[in-house]
Structure 1
Amino acid sequence: MFKTLYVRTVAIYLGIVMFSVAFSLLLTILLFFEKTGQDQKEIFEEKAELIMDFYEQMQPEDFQAFMNHLAQTSSLAIQLIDQETSHVQTFNLPKETQLSKLEKEISAYTIPWERNGTVYQMTLIEAYPEGNLLELMTLLSLIVLTSIVLVLIATRYLVRPVNAVTSVAKEISMGNFNVRLPTTRRDELGSLAVNINHMATELGQLEREREAFIANVSHEFQSPLTSIRGFSSMLLNDDMPTGDQQRALTIIQQESDRLSRLSDNLLKLTVLDSDKHVSQPIQYNVAEQIRRTVFTLEPQWTQKKLQVEMNAEKTLLDAEKDLMNQVWINLMSNAIKFTPPGGRISIHVSSSPHYIEVRFKDNGIPIPSKEFGRIFSRFHKVDRMRDRNINGSGLGLSIVKKIIERHRGKVYVYQESETEKSFVVLLPKTTTQDKSN
């Protein structure tokens, strides 16, 4: 019914106040109404008799002054009506005050009084009604007690889901990411439960990725170390032929280089993750930077007899030049690595009103669509790419993604056909570039 916790809380406490007042008032009336009416009547009767007796004893000459004094002393307003002439006399009652109006609001008592052969109708009423102190205190006490009981019940109702959230948060902090909160509520606590459940899911996924990352790092380091250890043991054998020694030394050098590259990539990812890298963006021609990368890697793609095409005009970009150079090297190396001999690679740089787009397209090994979301994960290798003749640690695309995200851009893979796929990089277009063009 209530969409927000704020409205729910306000409604509950307003309901408590209204219920407490109504309940306490009803109970007070049931306890005191009959007794109050009886006590008030007895008090008026006693005061009326005292007034009449006192008048008979005193027989004052100034009746008006005498009655005013008695009325003030008794905190009463007195009205006398002559039964024959209907003449009205009032004592201790302002002239502008209508007695009929007071009688409707406050209890009054009327009694006949015969004085000097004339019968009067005497009406007594409290001149300064203050109410019964016991009744007032009882009413206030009931309101307070009822409110306290209802607030305790309501608070328990409101705090219960908060305690559940606290308990689940404690479980998550202790590493239990399988706990979940019910999501039936439609207020702020319901929204909080949904977010906490999502957070637990993401943390669980992150924990699984961390464990997989540690396992992958151990595997990637263990494989070259095993090779180095084995061939080093062989070199200790003096009877080993010279040709085998050279082959063993070559493998040791290759595996050492592999370890060096792996350590370097891990260090880069660590720096990017921790944001310790100092940002120093400059404006430069990104098309020229990519062109130089292609020339730098020319020995690799010419060795495989690949056809490389590039379509790009001068395109200015505000970015960290060294980091972006790593992006283009990784993407170009990746394309060369997985494109078969005699294949082709095309690079296209274009500019839109808001983004600069760089597309690396090749006709290499296709990527299954289910792998698109995981291909940028650390140490992730598509099963069809697990070729022992292809070197790689599975960190290159992770580094690419980190660098692109650091520049508020995005990178994704797109399978254009069964034989062609593209790695697409989108980078925000700067106002400086717009002016230069």
Structure 2
Amino acid sequence: MSIHFRITLMFALLLCLVMGVSAFLINSFLLDNLIEQQKNELNLKGRFWIEKMNESNAKIETEGVAELEKLLVSNRKIEVLLLGKKKKVLYTSLPSSNLNGWMDALERKAEKRQNRNIWMVGSDDYVVVNLPFKNDEKQRLILASPVRGLKDTRMEMTNNILLIVLIGAVSTILLSFFITRSMVQPLHKLTREIKKIQARRFSEVQLIPARGEIAEVSNSVYSMAQELDRFHEIQRQFLQNASHELKTPLMSIQGYAEGIRDGVFVDAAAEKGFDVIVEETNRLKHIVTEIILLAKLEGEENLFDPSWHSATDLVTRTIERLHPLQLQHNVTISVRPTKTNDVVYVDEGKFLQALLNIIGNALRHAKDQITIEIKSGKRQLQIEVQDDGEGIAEELLPHLFHRFVKGKNGDVGLGLAISRAIIERSHGCLQAENGRLHGAIFRITLPLYPQPENSRTPE
């Protein structure tokens, strides 16, 4: 059974249970409530007539009886018994056949049930009000209404209530059916889209329109499919680029090795071939080392050993290591340190490697000048590296930090990917953009933490 029908069935069963309990309670308390209301009505009308008769001193046999009949006009049968002194019947609406039974009941002070206002006369129950007349306990006004009529009223009201509740229940169940259907349909569609993800058809996944929490799930599924599609494409490009990067030096090594083996290269040519083999072997070793490092950075948890370091000191040490490359390209590097706190919590060796890749990339593309600015805020520290080169090609910018993506004068295409992995594992982020006038800007953002008092920043 589908979730649509299960929800509707559960709601219908719950509604039936509530209706059953409500009907039972209504049926139990409705008669008591009607009896109490009838008693109050008889009591109010009787006292009103008695007070009126006491004030006007009207005669009971004529004006009083007419007034009493007018007062007791109602849609229910009301019996009247007006007794004078010595239980003389002054007026009654009872048939003569029932009068003796009432007098006997009055004589016995009535056979009382659970409710003292209910009298049993013969085989019928009555709601009875017994009031003293003219402040004389021997003169009584007895008003009685049969309970049978109240029971009929209760049944009629109960049936009407049940009919209304039944109509409301059917309407509610139908409404619940359509509301549940509108909620479940997006889930069915989402199931189909998730099966596409299971089949790795990420590009075919569509955004399912929905509302509320289901809309959040739909957006998450769609975003996940897009991210998986992008990741799948990156993996495919990675394999293509990796195979290309590895194939080129391997072909050179194979060619010179076979040439030397077959005697094609001898003497100086053989020596040159050996040099090429060693050079390409070192290049292969460098590529494999960087691939292994990138895999470790993205997978292993205990690879980092962070400590407190000055960002300015780390940048200065990076520039010192790149001094030969700086002289080779004849580029000036200027550093603008911050005047406030610049202490970051990073792995020294890994972060230096990230800075070497970023600043080394700037050196290869700069014309004359590189500016490194360190800016410190309340919670974050930024290191901006800007060169005055040609900038980054717009089509390359979205993929700049992917594996084996390299621009002009690039090496292997893993340096920036490694730098981003290191910085992200340090709880920071690395961004790149083109400057307003010229060159490229690489921006490293790192969180600033309160430095413990017992820790010491390396000089």
Name the TM-score, length of structure 2 as normaliser: 0.63
- Given candidates 264, 270, 276, the residue that maps to 1:251 is 276
Q: Provide the rounded CA distance (Å) in 2 between the counterparts of 1:60 and 1:345.
A: 118
Alignment of 1:1-80 (within 5 A): 62=104, 64-65=106-107, 68=110, 71-72=120-121, 74-77=123-126
Relative distance call for 1:242 and 1:288 in structure 2 (3 A) is farther
After TM superposition, give the deviation of residue 52 of structure 1 in Å. Answer: 6.7
The 4+ residue runs of structure 1 with deviation greater than 6 A are 51-54, 58-61, 433-437
Alignment of 1:176-215 (within 5 A): 176-177=201-202, 178-183=204-209, 185-215=210-240
Q: Percent identity?
A: 21
Give the SS at the match of 2:155: coil
- Given candidates 111, 116, 131, the residue that maps to 2:155 is 131
Give the SS at the match of 1:259: helix
Query: How many residues are aligned here?
Result: 355
Q: Provide the rounded CA distance (Å) in 2 between the counterparts of 1:233 and 1:400.
A: 38
The 8 Å contact of residues 296 and 303 in structure 2, kept in 1 or not, is answered as no
Moved more, 134-143 or 221-230: 134-143
Relative distance call for 1:218 and 1:74 in structure 2 (3 A) is farther
Q: Provide the rounded CA distance (Å) in 1 between the counterparts of 2:308 and 2:173.
A: 70
The 8 Å contact of residues 366 and 418 in structure 1, kept in 2 or not, is answered as no
The 8 Å contact of residues 316 and 433 in structure 1, kept in 2 or not, is answered as no
After TM superposition, give the deviation of residue 371 of structure 1 in Å. Answer: 3.1
Q: Provide the rounded CA distance (Å) in 2 between the counterparts of 1:168 and 1:248.
A: 56
Which residue does 2:289 correspond to in 1? 264
Which residue does 1:29 correspond to in 2? none
Relative distance call for 1:135 and 1:234 in structure 2 (3 A) is same
Consecutive unaligned residues in structure 1, runs of 5 or more: 1-8, 26-43, 45-50, 81-85, 94-98, 109-124
After TM superposition, give the deviation of residue 241 of structure 1 in Å. Answer: 2.7
Tell me whether 1:336 sits opposite 2:388 in the alignment: no
Which residue does 2:38 correspond to in 1? none
Report the RMSD for the aligned CA atoms in angstroms: 4.5
After TM superposition, give the deviation of residue 406 of structure 1 in Å. Answer: 1.8
> After superposition, what is the alpha-carbon deviation per residue over 1:130-157, rounded to whole angstroms, capped at 9, x for unaligned?
6389959975994698379535554334
Which residue does 1:146 correspond to in 2? 170
Give the SS at the match of 2:398: coil
> After superposition, what is the alpha-carbon deviation per residue over 1:244-277, rounded to whole angstroms, capped at 9, x for unaligned?
1122222222221121111111112111211423
Structure 2 counterpart of 1:425, which letter? Answer: I
After TM superposition, give the deviation of residue 75 of structure 1 in Å. Answer: 4.2
Which residue does 2:181 correspond to in 1? 156
Tell me whether 1:293 sits opposite 2:314 in the alignment: no
Q: Provide the rounded CA distance (Å) in 1 between the counterparts of 2:428 and 2:177.
A: 53
Moved more, 64-73 or 162-171: 64-73
Relative distance call for 1:87 and 1:306 in structure 2 (3 A) is closer
Which residue does 1:406 correspond to in 2? 425
Alignment of 1:273-288 (within 5 A): 273-288=298-313
Which residue does 1:165 correspond to in 2? 190
After TM superposition, give the deviation of residue 400 of structure 1 in Å. Answer: 0.9
Name the TM-score, length of structure 1 as normaliser: 0.66
Tell me whether 1:89 sits opposite 2:114 in the alignment: no
The 8 Å contact of residues 101 and 121 in structure 2, kept in 1 or not, is answered as no
Structure 2 counterpart of 1:232, which letter? Answer: A
